[in-house]
Amino acid sequence: MPAPQEPRVTRPTSRDVAHAAGVSQATVSLVLGDKWRGRVSERTAGLVREAAAGLGYRPNLAARNLRLGSTRTALLVVPALTNEFFARVYAGAARVAAEHGFGVVLYPSPDGTGPARDPFASARAALDGVIASSMAAHALEAIGGDGLPLVMLDSDPASGRAAAHVNLDMADGMRQVTEHLLALGHRRLLHLASAVDSWTFTIRAEALNGLLGPSAELRTVRAALSVDAARAAMESALTAPGERPTAVICDDDILAAGACKAARRLGLRVPDDLSVTGFDDLALATAVEPELTTVRLPAEQVGERGMSALLAVLEGTAWSAPDLPVELVVRGSTAPPPPGRTTAP
């Protein structure tokens, strides 16, 4: 005897949803395509969503995208995947995207903050828009040219290429760090600056220099964004002739970890001999000992707001928002400076 055949499962259609909700198929398309506001009442939209959920209806995205000429896909370009900050930005963007039936493709630029290459045969054919975090607009010319909407995150707001900008109040973060150290009594400061040439680090340096008066001394050294590079730069700075700094302001928690490592190698105690501050509040900030005083950046909110901005641009809606606030988190790596004169070991 032939084996009994499994019953054929029929997927519910938009017509089934329309029948269950007592509305037209056009209304179902508007509601499930998130185009209903101003055209359909809140009550009717709720009925459609309930009917779709009850039937287990899932729209045929491929057919809809082909019909509308849209992929419902955004590209998030970041300088690197090794920094936790960008992973959190992606998480925020992907969450908002999913709520609107969009997907987000994460693309680390092969050359860091340098010119990004088109990751597809033609980005314009594969994407609806681009979100770029901590990149320069000119570095994205290969990705869609002027043909794709662009939202810039943590980037120069003067860039005319972008349709919208989402920024953090980096200058205020540096103000909070500086005022904290000055209030503790520090007057000899070292800025361990990122060697990456980008707007976000330029803003931090400008803010720091503008905050210090004639009574405070500031030196600057640069290092690549790695613990080893930061350690080497700090060992040279701390052993240079003359009075050593009593506090180090780092552009990033990774640099701060390298600064702490250099201090230990030179027999200095953090924070008794040297205070150290970071920026970002990565998981690393609480993994080191003592835990880092650092500026907390709401990375997921950056991603959420970036995706919201792109959706607004795609709808033809003007979008603007104030800079996201940042917060100084004071932990064990900062204290008043040691008494008396301090010279290089």
**Domain boundaries in the chain?**
14-59, 71-166+299-321, 170-293
**pLDDT for residue 6 is more than 70:** no
Cα 228 from Cα 258, distance rounded (Å): 6
Burial class (CB in 10 A: 0-12, 13-18, 19+), 305: buried
- Of 205, 213, 135, give the one whose Cα is nearest residue 170: 205
Instruction: Report CA dihedral (65, 69, 74, 77) to the nearest 10 degrees.
Output: 140
**pLDDT confidence tier of residue 26, bands split at 50, 70 and 90:** confident
Which is more confidently placed, 45 or 4? Answer: 45
- List phi, psi (to 5°) of 269: -100, 135
The whole-angstrom separation of Cα 58 and Cα 88 is 29
User: Does residue 85 contact residue 297 with C-beta atoms inside 8 Å?
Assistant: yes
Give the per-residue pLDDT at 69. Answer: 46
Point out the least confidently predicted range of 31-40, 59-68, 115-124, 186-195: 59-68
pLDDT digits 0-9 by tens, 274-314: 999 999 999 999 999 999 999 999 999 999 999 999 999 98
| Integer Cα distance of 170 and 198 in angstroms | 13
Looking at the DSSP bridge assignments, the partners of residue 223 are 194
Task: Say which CATH class 71-166+299-321 falls into.
Answer: alpha beta
Omega prior to 7 cis, within 30 of 0: no
CATH architecture of 170-293: 3-Layer(aba) Sandwich (3.40)
Q: Decide whether 14-59 matches 71-166+299-321 in CATH topology.
A: no
Query: Which CATH number describes the domain made up of 14-59?
Result: 1.10.260.40
Contact 33, 40 (CB under 8 A): no
Determine the Cα–Cα distance for residues 327 and 345; give it in Å rounded to an integer. Answer: 34
